[in-house]
Structure 1
Amino acid sequence: MIRHTITFFLLLLLLSASPTDASQEDQLMRFIESTAKKRQADRITALPGQPPRVNFDQYAGYVTVNEEYGRELFYYFVEAPYEAATKPLILWLSGGPGCSSLGYGAMMELGPFRVNPDGKTLRRNKHAWNNLANVIFLESPTGVGFSYASNNSDNINKRGDQRTAEDTFVFLLNWLERFPEYKGRDFYIAGESYGGHYVPQLATVITFMSELHRTTFINLHGIFVGNPILDNYKNSEGNLEFLWSHGLISDEIWAGIRANCTFTPKDDGRWCSVLGQASHISGIYPRNIYDPRICLPSAREGYMAGYDPCMEYYVEAYLNTGEVQEALHARTNTNWLACPRTSGDLDSTCSITSTRYSVKDLNLPVTTPWRAWYTPDFEVGGYVQQYEGGFTFASVRGAGHLVPSYQPERALVLLYSFLKGRLPPG
């Protein structure tokens, strides 16, 4: 049970009071005025270095999720350029755990801007997801990016996925008070990598709280996860098979893995994990095995058209600029990082083979067999299969771990189909 004091319930309490009680009415008016002021304070006039003729509203700031223990989550919100009032609302959660939705999601993948190599200016992303929806990028849990928490035992000792899901739920309720026109709007949760935990766990909390209180707090319509880590052991098994099938580890090593690994807790990690096999695949960039591992001027376009392996450095330079932090209403002098450096690339990679193992484990009947799907240019965008209950598994051809970075158009086609409630075009 969530024990936090939630602004939403305060509003319900005030609305249920007698209309003749002037003090209650005064409290309600002060609350409404306070949330309106916070929203206006969060409006971004312009980001430093942004291109001309930006035709959508953008906001950023903090939402308190626990006042007693000082937990504040930072968000960046972009509305759709056209007909924002009729478009759905998406919450984006990057993975890691510990990676920034602002840095990865907004600035490197699906946001309206990309950071230029100078680390000071921005350019438009024509395949931004706010073409189809209004998008919140949430830096979660506390301690990620610009989000923060006070240094006390509750925040230190009780960290974990459950706390993250509960805090995110509280964030949404309080955010909706700041942006009340989005109450009741079709709502979707999207994410990637460790978002394979964050996204369904948040969906579970939303559903549980709605059923418990017999009211629809958030109009959740669906979840959308890319390259998700769903099960640690199936992830290890799938990743190792993926590396072997792509010629990165030998038949002999693979035979040893199959002979010695059960992919259960009793396994020896020196044999039965990608990290344990790291010496055999050194020099390979796990987020895309065909892309350069390191950032060099000669590799800025990589081997994938439009993808720049140096972009994380541009984003870190940009978001650590004082002028940018002020424009975002973030705490200034924050040492912003896209991901903690102690989380290696190998730990955050989730192959299609791993996803297949996890999907198979669900034991769902297939309703639409595996087939190709196509882009508007009639290229094969990937493959898709649907299961009973509407669960859909889709691949994106030519994409690495950050799908909207490697294949922005194909990612947008998938999102469009998802929001329309249908399979991508065949």
Structure 2
Amino acid sequence: MGFYLSYVVLLVLLIFVGVSVSLSSSPIEDQKRDRVTDLPGQPKNVGFAHYSGYVTVNEKSGSALFYWLFEAPASRRPEKRPLVLWLNGGPGCSSIAYGASEEIGPFRIRPDGKSLYLNPYAWNKLANILFLDSPAGVGFSYSNKTTDLYTFGDQRTAEDAYTFLVKWFERFPQYKHREFYIAGESYAGHYVPQLSQIVYERNKGIKNPVINFKGFMVGNAVTDDYHDYVGTFEYWWTHGLVSDSTYRMLRIACDFGSSQHPSVPCMQALKVAVVEQGNIDPYSIYTQPCNDTSSLRRDLGGRYPWMSRAYDPCTERYSDLYFNHPEVQKALHANVTGIPYSWKTCSDIVGNYWTDSPLTMLPIYRELISAGLKIWVYSGDTDSVVPVTATRYSIDALKLPTLTNWYPWYDNGKVGGWSQVYKGLTLVTVRGAGHEVPLHRPRQAFILFRSFLEDKAMPSSS
């Protein structure tokens, strides 16, 4: 009997301890811990909640991804709004630096690198927006295993992002079963469809999946190597950025995606093209660069040797200032491991050592279009890095039936761009926008996002 009583007491104690542990790490407590309450420079009475922190995606290597969630304002009933994950590309560039801070997030950084102001066209007015620094080693995301940073590629990035989502939904269970979308730009033209494919395939056979995935949207997106090369060189030539002879040389020397790396003659032709283009901002060919951007052209050394990893308006420099302030990092619950080097908008390692990158995303598009998911592709038409011609060639290769032919869409009586609706995919161009459409044309990007969420065609009346 004594043994039995002791066993019962021990069992009760274990249950009590277990309950205590469970309560101490409950989703409510986790969310409270991640709530951002005193962000330096934040305007007062913003009307929405935001959260940031880490989710461990690999216990063995100690890899953790950093997120920043902006809920919709209380006045817009965030509990009724969908959840949208935003990814920037590079590979190796921070979604916090770009998407959150100079594109679609609610806060913009002032030139002093200390204070913030509100973005009137923030996308969290329409949805709850979740930004993710991915993979580990990018932005505030980290791995305790240094060799990880030299071995990332598309596949592992997608798997880690999926692990992040699964664990994040456990931390924020109120978003389970909510309509969920994935969006991004540039090299996220790989990240977004690849992650979308994983979510879709792992939802198969589940009657009521936790991740209620509805579709994706990408902008100025790296999609298919062959068509990206053809379309990019054509854009350069038709916009007067390179000579006739260089255009011919590029078409002859470059193998248009049959190999992971350009040949030596192709690299030589690309160097000539860069010289001919001169000191312009290739990401926005009709706007002035922020001082001298020529010194900021960084060679990826991969399949897009003309493609430096980050658009460099001056706003990028404000991010460098702001996110290196210790009080900002503390408020965001970031840099918890005390990384000795400075925070950067783009990693010096991740991306330069990228291990795998499929030549095309088109098979994934075909699979997800067949599944009936909502897919929108948009393009700023003054970007010469992943230009509208490249995007149009890639979409044309899908051979989709046209439902609504090419037409101008309008904003306040002015043409905002053009659109074409295919069976299973909508293409939208944004007139006068560069690589980062929401940075150059924030109002038009807001209209685009609203139309995407509502699944309505772009406004066709002037």
- TM-score, normalised relative to structure 1: 0.86
> Residue type matched to 1:354 in 2?
A
Q: Partner residue of 1:207?
A: 200
* 1:137-162: CA deviation from partner (whole Å, max 9, x where unpaired): 00000000000011265x35652111
Counterpart contact for 1:270–1:276, Cα < 8 Å: no
> Residue type matched to 2:139 in 1?
G
**C-alpha separation in 2, matches of 1:162 and 1:354:** 24
**C-alpha separation in 2, matches of 1:21 and 1:385:** 65
Moved more, 239-248 or 273-282: 273-282
**C-alpha separation in 1, matches of 2:414 and 2:206:** 47
Q: Partner residue of 2:266?
A: 271
Is 1:423 aligned to 2:454, yes or no? no
**C-alpha separation in 2, matches of 1:59 and 1:348:** 35
**C-alpha separation in 2, matches of 1:259 and 1:186:** 47
**C-alpha separation in 1, matches of 2:118 and 2:312:** 15
* 1:31-55: CA deviation from partner (whole Å, max 9, x where unpaired): 4540322211100113101112211
**C-alpha separation in 1, matches of 2:48 and 2:211:** 24
Output the aligned Cα RMSD.
2.6
Q: What is the percentage of aligned positions where both structures have the same residue?
A: 45
Cα offset, 1:270, TM superposition: 3.8
Is 1:314 aligned to 2:318, yes or no? yes
Q: What secondary structure is seen at the aligned counterpart in 1 of 2:397?
A: helix
Is 1:77 aligned to 2:69, yes or no? yes
Go from structure 1 to structure 2 and tell me whether the alpha carbon gap of 1:140 and 1:276 turns closer, same or farther (over 3 Å shift): farther
Q: Partner residue of 1:285?
A: 281
Structure 1 residues 194-233: aligned runs within 5 Å:
194-211=187-204, 216-233=209-226
**C-alpha separation in 2, matches of 1:312 and 1:87:** 30
Q: What secondary structure is seen at the aligned counterpart in 1 of 2:407?
A: strand
Q: Which of 339, 343, 362 is equivalent to 1:336?
A: 343
> Residue type matched to 1:268 in 2?
S
**C-alpha separation in 1, matches of 2:264 and 2:220:** 22
* 1:76-117: CA deviation from partner (whole Å, max 9, x where unpaired): 110001210101000000010111000100001000010001
Q: Partner residue of 2:306?
A: none
Go from structure 1 to structure 2 and tell me whether the alpha carbon gap of 1:224 and 1:28 turns closer, same or farther (over 3 Å shift): farther
Go from structure 1 to structure 2 and tell me whether the alpha carbon gap of 1:156 and 1:268 turns closer, same or farther (over 3 Å shift): closer
Q: Partner residue of 2:38?
A: 46
Moved over 4 A (4+): 20-29, 212-215, 259-262, 272-276, 341-344
Counterpart contact for 2:290–2:312, Cα < 8 Å: no
Q: Which of 392, 399, 411 is equivalent to 1:356?
A: 392
Is 1:128 aligned to 2:122, yes or no? yes
**C-alpha separation in 1, matches of 2:188 and 2:273:** 25
Moved more, 167-176 or 140-149: 167-176
Q: Partner residue of 2:144?
A: 150
User: How many residues are treated as equivalent by the alignment?
Assistant: 392
Is 1:97 aligned to 2:91, yes or no? yes
Go from structure 1 to structure 2 and tell me whether the alpha carbon gap of 1:280 and 1:322 turns closer, same or farther (over 3 Å shift): same
Is 1:119 aligned to 2:122, yes or no? no
Q: Partner residue of 1:403?
A: 437
Q: Which of 371, 375, 386 is equivalent to 2:421?
A: 386
**C-alpha separation in 2, matches of 1:22 and 1:276:** 74
* 1:60-90: CA deviation from partner (whole Å, max 9, x where unpaired): 1001111122110000110001210101000
**C-alpha separation in 2, matches of 1:201 and 1:338:** 23
Go from structure 1 to structure 2 and tell me whether the alpha carbon gap of 1:254 and 1:200 turns closer, same or farther (over 3 Å shift): same
**C-alpha separation in 2, matches of 1:237 and 1:315:** 34
- TM-score, normalised relative to structure 2: 0.79
Q: Partner residue of 2:406?
A: 370
Gaps of 5+ in 2: 1-10, 293-310, 353-382
Go from structure 1 to structure 2 and tell me whether the alpha carbon gap of 1:27 and 1:66 turns closer, same or farther (over 3 Å shift): farther
Q: Partner residue of 2:366?
A: none
**C-alpha separation in 1, matches of 2:57 and 2:265:** 40
Q: What secondary structure is seen at the aligned counterpart in 2 of 1:394?
A: strand
Counterpart contact for 2:83–2:179, Cα < 8 Å: yes
**C-alpha separation in 2, matches of 1:308 and 1:163:** 28
Cα offset, 1:271, TM superposition: 3.3
**C-alpha separation in 1, matches of 2:63 and 2:407:** 46
Counterpart contact for 2:225–2:257, Cα < 8 Å: no
Q: What secondary structure is seen at the aligned counterpart in 1 of 2:223?
A: coil
Go from structure 1 to structure 2 and tell me whether the alpha carbon gap of 1:201 and 1:253 turns closer, same or farther (over 3 Å shift): same
Q: Partner residue of 1:8?
A: none
Counterpart contact for 2:177–2:208, Cα < 8 Å: no
Gaps of 5+ in 1: 1-19, 297-306
> Residue type matched to 1:71 in 2?
S
> Residue type matched to 2:390 in 1?
S
Counterpart contact for 2:408–2:415, Cα < 8 Å: yes
Counterpart contact for 2:246–2:273, Cα < 8 Å: no
Moved more, 322-331 or 37-46: 37-46
Q: Which of 315, 328, 339 is equivalent to 1:324?
A: 328
Q: Partner residue of 2:251?
A: 258
Counterpart contact for 1:89–1:182, Cα < 8 Å: yes
Counterpart contact for 1:239–1:274, Cα < 8 Å: no
Q: Partner residue of 1:12?
A: none
